[in-house]
Every structure is written in structure tokens, then in C-alpha cells.
Chains A and B, each alone.
Chain A
Amino acid sequence: MSEPMTDTDRPILETRSLAKRFSIGTRFSAEGRRTVHAVDNVSLSVRRGETVGLVGESGCGKSTLARCLVRLYDITDGKLLFEGDDITSKSLSELRPLRRRLQMVFQDPSASLNPRRRVGDLVAEPLRIHGKLSAREITARVAELFELVGLLPDHVMRYPHEFSGGQRQRVGIARAIALNPDLVVLDEPVSALDVSVQAQIVNLLADLQEKLKLTYIFIAHDLSVVRQVSTRIAVMYLGSIAEEGPAEEVFATPAHPYSQALISAVPVVETTPAGARKRIILTGDVPSPLKPPSGCRFHPRCPIAAERCRSERPELKEYRPGRKAACHFPTLT
């Protein structure tokens, strides 16, 4: 154990070698019972007030990790600490007071809002469950929340379908912040929205973070959005973290060959002739988490893979203060 830390630099949330495995099939199915290594050996710490962006291709385990972080999934292995307190295997009733402080916003606001209930009622629900507020106080708080997220006071009586996608996501956010949480996990909060609306929600999230001193874990597949909102990012590949570091630095000088390929693949608006930017095109698909490759999990697609990568799995190492990469040959610039 390390030395005692002061409250400010102690991480608000921390994982130690966290793993989540799912069993699929039965002993009667053709391949028998098999194990999906969805999240594997993830050690990540989140400091108070920062935004950690999780990026990676679909199936890389970022959403599974997010759900483990708020204990929507049970954790198979490793530890999850909230403010230094081990919550890996706390029972649901023990978790209840924590739920207030750990909230989640989902991708599709129309799927996470009950269509038969008025949105004011939906936002009041967490207050009724957790709070000790009177009916009048709840009404006042809902009005306050609506103002915070940029909805009009008379919107409380409407149903979710009466809103546009952007407004529905505002309702989802109001629900998540209703109990004054410390940490909010945002799983693709802008992906389902129209391009012209995404920027509004990104700005709203930034405003709320400042006002309410929130800590975010932000998941998105749109890399430019992640860069915009995150102070730090973790690039995931096949269930593990390939690279971690300050967002702007990782985007400017990615060290892991996978991050390099991922970032170079983002189409950007350029006025110079097409194809001027150097692009690394990865061959093949992401391997199945049922049968992860030996050694470095990225080696079958890696342009610089060597013999060592096939046999020896690289650890996520800090090669410079703040910058970590799980690669035997990181690009150091």
C-alpha cells in the first residue's frame, strides 16, 4: 500500500486490474461453454473534477467497463474503489447511498425515458427515491434542474415524444444530475443526436461540470468530441487499455500504434486535396474476445509488430510522467 494521501489527490474512482468476463453457450452447444474476456486487467484512476474519455472501436469493452464502474455489472476480478473505499462486492443495499453520487447518462434518450410518463415526473423520480424532500421541494428542484439543462419550465408536463432528440438528452442529463452526484458516467451521450445539436449538448455538459464540480467518464466513438470534452483519455483495445494520457497530447503524439491508426482514420474537413493526410489503414478485424491473440493483443494488425509482440504481453507502463502505453515499441516523441 502506498503512503496516505490527502483528499484532493486521492482518486474519486479507481480500478485495480479490473476484469469482466461473460460466459456464453452451455455445455451442450457446439463449442461448449466459452468465456468472453470483455474487460481485462484495467487499472484506471479518475481524479476529482477531471473528464476521462474512453475511446476504442465497437467491442473494445468501453461500455462494459463503464457499466462495471457504476456496478451495473458485477465485477469478475480485480477491485473497484470509490473514494478509496472498496465497493467491488458491496451488496445492492450497501450500494444504495453510493448510487446517489454515481450516475449514468445513456446513448439513446428515447430508450431510457419511459414514454408513458411526463418528463417532469421522470426527473423527479430519483428525488423521490433517494431524497427526503417534500412534494413542494421536489417541484422546486425539478424546475431548477430544467433551468440548469436549458429546458423551459412548462416542459415538465410534456411527454418524451414531444421533444426533439437534443431536448430528450437534456432530460436524461437532468435526471442524472438531480441528486447532485460526484461522478457521472456518460455512455455515448451525443452519438444519437443530429450534428447541429451535438455541440449544444457538449457545451451543456461542460457548463454543468464547471457549475456542479462534476467528474465525468465520457465514452464516445467520435474522437473529436472526446478530445473536446476530455482532460485525459484512455484508448481501449480488446478489453484493455492500450494508451492513456492527457487528451491533447495523446491526439497530437499518440505513442501506441493502435492509437496512431485510430486517430489517423478520423475523417476531417480539409481544404487541401483529398488524401493529403497520412493515414494508417489497419488490415483485418478486431479479433474475437473469445479467443484473444497471444502476446500483445494488437499484434496481428500492428504495422510494427515484432517477434516479441507475439509471445510477450506488454504491460501498461508510464514511459513519461502522465503518459502510459501498453506497447513494447511505443513511439516516443
Chain B
Amino acid sequence: MKKIKIQKRVKDHILEGSRAIALTINNINPDVISAYPITPQTHIVEDLAKFKAEGTANYEYVRAESEFAAASIILGACATGSRVYSATSSQGLLLMIEVLYNISGMRLPIVMTCANRAVSAPINIWNDHSDAMAVRDSGWLQFFSEDHQEAVYQHILAFKIAEKMQLPALVNVDGFILTHSYEPVSIPSKSLISKYLPAYKPESGTYLDPKNPITLGGFFSSDAYFKTREDIFQDFNLSLEEIKKEYLKLKKVFNFKDNGNGLVEYSGAKKPKTILITMGSLAGTIKETLKDYRDIGLLKITTFRPFPAEEILKATKSCKNIAVIEKAISPGSGGPLYNEVKAAIFENEKINIKNYIVGLGGKDISQKIIQKIIKDSNNKNKKITFVG
């Protein structure tokens, strides 16, 4: 592997998505990484192992025998005062679920990448958002990246918010579409990142330390458990403002501009008749498609947890139709994102909101499909449609 000269602003490296994430993680300076290979995040953890082997990394790298162990290992390391990281995908994320709930309940600020991928059966390795939706209620912050550069910044943001709010964070990047594709990207240097994200120093008496012994993960009766869950809920709400605040700072420190506020990003028509809502790399395809339209807008959800309900209500106030286009389905209900958007705009009863399920198991989402959806979006017929 060639050593890459890192520059601040110019996107002069053409990197694989996984490589861009791995380089960023190394520059974030974690103390402990543990991982298990699972397609399509494998390149990330291979790169991180390589950096360690080459002597360009300072973290401890623990090879786990399963995702369940990897999640438990970073749990233990984080509880001992370390900044930690792992990456996973699909079945691996699902195998981790019990630990994910545990990490959140213990308020450990762990950050993981999820290279989003369909869940078996039928077995299928390609991209959709079934995995992320399966851990929706596990108490992890969830970010979704549109492209390599956004993934880089979201990882830095994720550590900042996680450590500030004492909540774990999952950065979702579309498997293969982002992890295995090459794009121009700039990787912020270690010193620049440390200006935004200082070294992790938890307070004494909050982590495992023989000099100040504490008990973590004890048995809680109903009253204490109830209060803990409520506290987590409240802190997720508080993190909405923190994300907006920190995203502004992020743009300043790393010197970039976009229309987003860390929670959502609007692009397209100033007075849209229809707003398309989506998450992840599909936003790129939609942006390309919308170049031919004057009255359509795109609202990209960059933070899925906490859910930016107010931002969505505000952004969709005067449009007639909403089309929620997503790569996941809750059998017996509808698209998870659709249901949440519907709840967010409940006050605005005039809007015609529809749900389009696309791309499950990596099924290609072409501009033609987006055009078809736009055409259908002002019909008030069927609410939930599979388009493929």
C-alpha cells in the first residue's frame, strides 16, 4: 500500500470508500479496534489491520472470532476508558444486536460503521437498508452517508456526538455502492481532526480502573430501569441540537460547504410540488435525475436516529406530495422511513404521502425508476408500492 500524502481541502485522492473510511478512522486515533470480516465491510478492517502491521497506527487490534465477540470486546475496552471502533454489516450486525442494546444501555460512546446490506434469507450480499432498520430501536445514533466524502465527515461527527452525549453511533454506508467504489475524496489529517475531536478522556469514576473501583452493568429494578430508558430517550432528543451545532463547527474546521445541517439536507426546486425523501447513496442518483425537473425537491435524511421530525415537517410544509423512497420494508406495515415521515408530518394532513420500496437485495435503482416514481407521486391511489 502506498503512503498517501494527506491534504486538507482538495479532493485529490481517488480512493475506495472502505479505504477512505479506514484512513479516517486511523486519523481519529482510536485506542482499540476489534472486528470480524463480513462482506462488504471487510476492506475497512483489512486496511486497519494493514496500517497496524505497517506501523502507521497506534491502536490495539483484536481479531475476534465472531461479530458478537467483536462488539463485546469493544464494549469491554470502552468501559475501561478507551476510544474504540468496529465495522460490520448485515448478518454481522444482527448477530451483534444483543450487545448493541447493552452498549447503549451502559451509555458507552462506541462508533461503528455499518456497510449496509440485505439480510438473509434468501442469501444476498448486496446493498439495502434492512440491517440498519433491524437495529433501529437499539439506542444507537444512526447516520447515513451519500458519498465517500460525507462518510469521512460523518465518522468524525459520530465520534464527537457519541462522546459528548455518551451514546453509541452507527455510520451507515451503502455496501459496495460506497464501500467498493472509487471517488475523489479528501482525508483530514490527524492534527486537523484533533482540533475538532480532542483525545478521549472520560472522567475518573466513570470507567473500570483499580484506582477508583466502580460497578458497571448492575441489576436494575423496574423503577431504575424505567428511568434509565427515559433518560436515553431524552438524551436522543437533546442530541438533535448537538448534531446541528457540531455540524456547523465541522464545516468550519474542515472548510466545506453544503445545504445540510447534519440532520437533513434539502436540494432541488425552491417551491417544490413534490418532495422525494431518501437516505444514503440513492440521494446521488436522485440529484442527477432532478436536473431535468423544475418542481421537484429532494430531502436527504442524514441523521435517522435521532429522527429529525421537526426538520421534515418544516421542509415539507408547502409541498403537495411526498414520496419516501427507501431500501427497506417492514412486512405487515410499510417502509420504516415512510412510517416515521408520516408520523412527523401528521399535523399537515393535506399532504399526499406515498411510499416506494426500491433496491432490496441490491436491485438496481436507475434514473428511470426515479422518473417513474415522480410521475406516480401525485396519484392518490396505492400508498405503498414496490418499484423495481
Same complex for A and B? Answer no
- Which A positions have Cβ atoms within 8 angstroms of B? none
